Structure 1
Amino acid sequence: MALFILIFFTLMAAAGWLATLNTGSVVFYLTRDTSFDLSLTALILFSTALGGIVVIISLGLREIKNVFLNWKETRQKKRYAQVDIYYTDAINAYLAKRYRDATSVFKKILSLDPNHYDTLLRLGKIYRIERNFNEAIRLHRKARSQDDQKIEVLLALSHDLQDAERYEEAMQFLKEVIALDGTNLTALLQLRDLSIQLQHWDEVHMLQEKVLKLHLSDEDKKKEEMTFLGVKYELGKQLLQKEETSAARRHFKSAIKLDRSFLPAHIGLGDTYFYEGNTKVAAALLEKSFEMTGDLILLLRLEDFFIETGEPDRILKIYHQAILKDVQSIVLKFYLGKLYYRLEMIDDAFDTLSEIEAHVESFPDLHKILGNIHVRRGDLAFAVDSFKKGLKLKNRVLIPFYCSNCDFHTVEWSGRCGRCGRWNSYVATPILVDKAGNRGLELSPYNAPMVKEHA
């Protein structure tokens, strides 16, 4: 500015000196009718002065603008500094689970910066924890509007909607995550689990294939492979219900090829042949599957089948062959005795079950059947004694199937536990205690505290 003033006065001095050399004048018109004479020197001085004023005003405005911008920047820096302080306090409260304090501070941040992304994300999570789902969704949608490519906020929105039981909407956000990152394990597993819940087995199968292609630990790999078997079974079962037997059979066979001991697939394949009317093929398949796996559930299904078709001799032969391979199996002998009783072969049932009774301390199902046999034979005193033994475990009625994972009991077999959701976990082994106090099964659920029985 000082330099400009110096230049201005220098020009004024030069203009004065030129005025002494140029004494002429010009006519200066303001309008057509208004004019006046103006010396050349005055014209030069006026033009120079006008230009100087314009320059001064321009410089002044620029300075004012700079001052305003500096003031605004300083204020913004102070606000950001305050936001950082607030955010640190809010995060400390959040991590300490002092959600009320955290919420109060987060709200202060939003009053200073309504679009603070991290605050919108964390405050939304607090509202979700407090089950205020609408507010959680609102805040997370606002965070998403700033950057719709951020996976973290898409997962947060999916979580909000899942907790709000708006599953279809939640699935859409998970699909967006997978579209951005096809290897995102969290999104794949959540979308798979939601699809399982909604029984969209085609989509579950596709998602599980993607999961198995990812790098997983050995433990997780084994777990996901078992899930894949279960998904194949469920998809096959769903296709069978739709009468698409060829496709159903293909999935059951695929599961068996992956794991020959996966019982649900064997039963599903047998059910497919039964549905098609190929009963002999179905029975032969279940027999072969029993020889392969030794699973008692298959034996029980064969028992029902052969009794229904009027061929009890075949199931008796299978029992006898199985016992010859495992002469110490109390469980096999019990089921054989129960079959004799079912077939009204009372003496054979009594002989078989009495042999078992000598080796067990407590076997409620056995004692109840023996009690009924004694009643039918007229031995009421022995019947009472057997019934008392059968009621020893507080009248607990044991039912055929239980889940070896969570001890869920049910009278209906299923490929998947109705409580814990694990596939291939049902066991058809009665619970017994031998004379030495040992449980009948090493993995018996009675090794753990009893839980409420389920029908």
Structure 2
Amino acid sequence: MTRWLGAVIAALFLIGAGYVVFLNPDPVVVHVTPRRSYTPPLAAALLTAFAAGGCLVGLAAVVRAGRRGWHSWRARRRTRHEARRAALTDRARALVWAGDYSRARAELLRDERGVPDDAGRIALLAETHLQEGDPAAARSLLDQGLARVGLDPRLLDLLAEAAERSGDLRAAGEALERARLGQPQSPRLARRLRDLYTADGRWNDALRLQGEIMLGIRGAAALAGEEGTLRGLRYQAAFAETDGRRVARLLLRLAREEPSFLPAWVSAGDHLAHAGRRVSARRVWERALRHQPAAVLLERLERLHASRGRPERTTRLYRRTVRRHPEAQAVLLLFARHLIVTGALDQASEALAGLPEPLASHAVTHALWGELHRRRGNDKLAAESFARAFGSDGGFLASFRCTSCQRPADTWDGYCPGCRRWGTLSAAAEWAANGAAR
């Protein structure tokens, strides 16, 4: 059908051209240049002009079609290239998951001249170095990649991780600070940077960032956890002050805002005592003792009264604490120890005899009984009590402690769940021998 239509159009065109020639047989002068001219028939001139116009239009159409074909070919080529790169990246990612890091790098660097120009491929390359325990190579790669693709937050995050593994906390912090410039609303980057500030001892910077983190929290449970972190950072930031009195004021303010935060009470009293304000220190510790009967507070107060030659104040303090906190069984043991040390042996015997079970059968209680009998001169009863406290082997083989994280254990085990290491548990005798060797 198309051929017939073309033939009909061509026949009509020839008929029309012949008709024009038949109607215009006279010649016409056509000047090509000022000195050159032609005298073709008018019909020939018209048909030539028409043919030249048609050729120009056809040439323009051919140029446009060529350009479209060229762009289409380039787009297809780019698509094939990107598909091949994506396939190589997927294959490299699978190799990384499989632990074949050298082959993964070979896949990622195929058809590349140096560092890739894609942030995702650079990140995957850096991950292969980090997984192999080579943070220096990862840092070098990421520095080159950032110079090529710009400040990509994902690459900066990896750079911070590599610097942190290298022990360069300052460089890690700088990398995360640059990453936050690109994504200031990212809570993950903010928390990572806060933790780096904390590890580097930059407490004021960590405290400032913690305030920003808390502004973006909506959940009550998450907010409560971050408030605990805020208290700890405020506690540490207080020690950065050079004025001891200001340190004490900041700690006291923190303690009053959160009475259950024991470190603020203890450290505030320590600073006051160090400054010679022992009465103020005693009041701070006694006020904290109303909230929680912590052994560290009782120890501080007992030492303070002993230094002033007033042990009877400590006795009254223990009795008052026992009445205020009857559930605090540790106070009963500390009170009994204090009575033994001060020579009130009959009162100490009454205190120990009134201990509830299972506290009465604890090794510490038996040790206190042994010291009580020893001071009374009952050597046989003292020996029996000490034997109950430490066992027949003196506790040298029955108790163990991890040499890495100091976690205690009743029985030996090849694995320590505290630090997730193996072969680190040592008996008490080994600890004693190692301590003596030092």
CA distance in 1, matches of 2:325, 2:80: 83
Name the counterpart of 2:178. Answer: 176
CA distance in 2, matches of 1:166, 1:329: 45
Alignment of 1:6-45 (within 5 A): none
Q: For the structure 1 residues 288 and 393, does the alpha-carbon distance in structure 2 shift closer, same or farther, using more than 3 Å as the test?
A: farther
Measure how far apart 1:283 and its partner are. Answer: 0.5
Measure how far apart 1:182 and its partner are. Answer: 3.1
Tell which deviates more after alignment, 167-176 or 71-80: 71-80
Specify which structure has the bigger relative contact order, considering alpha-carbon pairs within 8 angstroms and separated by 6 or more residues. 1
The two structures have a TM-score, normalised by structure 2, of: 0.71
Name the counterpart of 1:287. Answer: 286
Q: For the structure 1 residues 181 and 376, does the alpha-carbon distance in structure 2 shift closer, same or farther, using more than 3 Å as the test?
A: same
Name the counterpart of 1:271. Answer: 270
CA distance in 2, matches of 1:385, 1:304: 31
Read off the aligned partner of 2:166 and give its amino acid letter: A
Q: For the structure 1 residues 281 and 102, does the alpha-carbon distance in structure 2 shift closer, same or farther, using more than 3 Å as the test?
A: same
Name the counterpart of 1:165. Answer: 167
1:302 partnered with 2:304: no
Name the counterpart of 1:378. Answer: 377
Q: For the structure 1 residues 216 and 146, does the alpha-carbon distance in structure 2 shift closer, same or farther, using more than 3 Å as the test?
A: farther
Name the counterpart of 1:428. Answer: none
Q: Report if the CA contact (8 A) 1:178-1:187 is conserved.
A: yes
Of residues 186, 194, 197, the one that matches 1:195 is 197
Q: Report if the CA contact (8 A) 1:86-1:109 is conserved.
A: no
Read off the aligned partner of 1:145 and give its amino acid letter: A
CA distance in 2, matches of 1:378, 1:328: 33
CA distance in 1, matches of 2:254, 2:194: 18
Q: Report if the CA contact (8 A) 2:117-2:149 is conserved.
A: no
Q: Report if the CA contact (8 A) 1:144-1:150 is conserved.
A: yes
Read off the aligned partner of 2:206 and give its amino acid letter: V
Q: Report if the CA contact (8 A) 1:174-1:187 is conserved.
A: yes
Measure how far apart 1:126 and its partner are. Answer: 1.7
CA distance in 1, matches of 2:166, 2:269: 41
Q: For the structure 1 residues 169 and 393, does the alpha-carbon distance in structure 2 shift closer, same or farther, using more than 3 Å as the test?
A: farther
SS at 1:110's partner residue? coil
Name the counterpart of 1:121. Answer: 123
Tell which deviates more after alignment, 78-87 or 67-76: 67-76
Measure how far apart 1:375 and its partner are. Answer: 2.6
Read off the aligned partner of 2:120 and give its amino acid letter: D
CA distance in 2, matches of 1:196, 1:258: 23
Read off the aligned partner of 1:305 and give its amino acid letter: L
Which structure 1 residue ranges, 5 or more long, are not aligned?
A: 1-16, 27-38, 42-54, 398-405, 410-418, 421-449
Q: Report if the CA contact (8 A) 1:267-1:298 is conserved.
A: yes
Measure how far apart 1:377 and its partner are. Answer: 2.5
Name the counterpart of 1:142. Answer: 144
Q: Report if the CA contact (8 A) 2:116-2:145 is conserved.
A: no
CA distance in 1, matches of 2:356, 2:219: 47
SS at 1:291's partner residue? helix
SS at 2:216's partner residue? coil
Which structure 2 residue ranges, 5 or more long, are not aligned?
A: 1-26, 39-55, 397-404, 409-417, 420-424
Q: Report if the CA contact (8 A) 2:194-2:209 is conserved.
A: yes
Q: Report if the CA contact (8 A) 2:105-2:128 is conserved.
A: yes
Name the counterpart of 1:255. Answer: 254
Tell which deviates more after alignment, 147-156 or 330-339: 147-156
Tell which deviates more after alignment, 359-368 or 202-211: 359-368
Q: For the structure 1 residues 325 and 82, does the alpha-carbon distance in structure 2 shift closer, same or farther, using more than 3 Å as the test?
A: closer
Alignment of 1:36-435 (within 5 A): 75-95=77-97, 97-108=99-110, 110=112, 114-239=116-241, 242=242, 244-326=243-325, 330-356=329-355, 360=359, 362-392=361-391, 395-396=394-395
Identity %: 18
CA distance in 1, matches of 2:291, 2:111: 66
CA distance in 2, matches of 1:351, 1:210: 56
SS at 2:281's partner residue? helix
CA distance in 1, matches of 2:392, 2:120: 58
Tell me how large the CA RMSD over aligned residues is: 4.3
Q: Report if the CA contact (8 A) 2:170-2:200 is conserved.
A: no
SS at 2:110's partner residue? helix
CA distance in 1, matches of 2:208, 2:229: 12
Q: What are the Cα deviations for residues 239-287 of structure 1, in whole angstroms up to 9, with x where unaligned?
A: 3xx3x12331332133224311111111122122212221111111211
Measure how far apart 1:302 and its partner are. Answer: 0.9
CA distance in 2, matches of 1:330, 1:178: 50
Q: For the structure 1 residues 90 and 280, does the alpha-carbon distance in structure 2 shift closer, same or farther, using more than 3 Å as the test?
A: same
Read off the aligned partner of 1:184 and give its amino acid letter: S
The two structures have a TM-score, normalised by structure 1, of: 0.68
SS at 1:356's partner residue? coil
Name the counterpart of 1:416. Answer: none
CA distance in 2, matches of 1:118, 1:138: 16
Measure how far apart 1:299 and its partner are. Answer: 1.7
Read off the aligned partner of 2:281 and give its amino acid letter: A
Q: Report if the CA contact (8 A) 1:128-1:160 is conserved.
A: yes
Name the counterpart of 2:17. Answer: none
CA distance in 1, matches of 2:273, 2:359: 38
CA distance in 2, matches of 1:149, 1:292: 51
Q: Report if the CA contact (8 A) 1:177-1:184 is conserved.
A: no
